[in-house]
């Protein structure tokens, strides 16, 4: 099998609740804005933006591929989602949208 390194347009993006950026000062890697949760599992959540072409591909094919580097160690559990609330909730989620304008 051959590893193909092709330009991927999907990019990790900054988001409202992020509290850390991994690989910030490592030029060999792409910085990864993330939310590190203080949980027993040590969850780390990131948000990715797809290009228009990638969005069409997902729309029509319904598939996303993931490459994880394990460095030949046991693989950590991973999860992909299209909705943030499937991964974590935030106290702001309980405020009705119209109350955000009042406070």
Task: Give the model confidence (pLDDT) of 36-89 as tens digits.
Answer: 999 999 999 999 999 999 999 999 999 998 888 889 999 988 999 988 888 988
Place of tokens 């347009």: 9
Q: What are the DSSP calls for 14-81, one per residue? A: --TT--EEETTT-TTS--EEEEE--STT--EEEEEE--HHHHHHHHHH---------TTSPPPP----
Q: What is the pLDDT of residue 100?
A: 56
Strands (E), 2-98: 11-13, 20-22, 32-36, 44-49
Q: Model confidence at 99, in pLDDT bands (50, 70, 90)? A: low
């Amino acid at each position: 099998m051959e590893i193909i390194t092709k330009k991927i347009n999907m990019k990790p993006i900054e988001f409202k609740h992020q509290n850390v950026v991994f690989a910030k000062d490592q030029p060999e890697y792409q910085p990864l804005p993330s939310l590190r949760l203080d949980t027993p599992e040590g969850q780390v959540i990131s948000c990715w933006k797809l290009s228009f072409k990638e969005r069409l591909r997902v729309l029509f094919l319904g598939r996303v591929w993931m490459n994880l580097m394990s460095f030949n160690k046991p693989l950590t559990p991973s999860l992909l989602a299209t909705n943030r609330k499937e991964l974590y909730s935030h106290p702001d989620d309980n405020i009705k949208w119209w109350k955000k304008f009042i406070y």
